[in-house]
Amino acid sequence: MEQGPHSARELADLVRAAQRGDRAAQERLFRAHAPLALRCALGMCQGQMAEAEDLVQDVMVTCLTHLSDLREPEHFVAWLLRCLRNRAINRGATARSRERALQRLADGDTADGDPLERLIRAQRRLLLRQAFDRLEEGPIKQAAQLYYFDEIDSVAEVASRLGTNKSTVTTRLDRFRQLLKKRIARAIVVRQCSADASADASEVV
């Protein structure tokens, strides 16, 4: 186990050394506090180890990059955990925003119907999520990310962010919807074929 500083003074000295660019001090500082950060991250991520580890790694890199911003080295631990909490909150907000966007795409902002309709819409949202994740990175997916998932509802604003014009963004969004429809249709066919095969196998048995 990494031996960490034993007092506030030792911690402050270690942080100052790390701020000066001492690589050994930086490594010791973050290795010593990684277990604490991971325990806290696990609580924030509902016990999902892979997600917690990814969160900690992300925050550690950010904190190392901005270590010079810490004005009170003795408060490093509180600063680290505050950064961890803020990043977890931001990730949660992004995930909720994405879920709302998927719902908008799936059911067109329609009101809840009967239970069967809600189930169908939930299945469509799952297919949409899977289809979006599998799209290749590029201009089309980038435009869709801004418009649907970052909730920038103005095509003009998306165009400004991307350094292009409204017509190009509109074309990319149309292309995105077409790609999604094709991928969803393909996924439905595959699922149906799988279900039919399972049914045939059951009949044989």
**Which pLDDT score is estimated for 76?**
92
> How many independent structural domains does the chain possess?
2
- pLDDT averaged over every residue in the chain: 76
Q: Is residue 184 part of a domain?
A: yes
Whether the per-residue pLDDT at 148 is higher than 70: the answer is yes
Is 70 exceeded by the pLDDT of residue 69?
yes
Residue with more model confidence, 113 or 137:
137
Token pair for residue 165? 């014009």
Residue 125 and residue 53 share a domain? no
Q: Express the helix, strand and coil content of the chain in percent, nearest 5 each.
A: 80, 0, 20
pTM of the model: 0.46
Q: Are residues 128 and 62 in the same domain?
A: no
Q: Does 134 map to a domain? A: yes
| Domain encompassing residue 34 | 8-92
Comparing 66 with 7, the larger pLDDT belongs to: 66
Same domain, 83 and 136: no
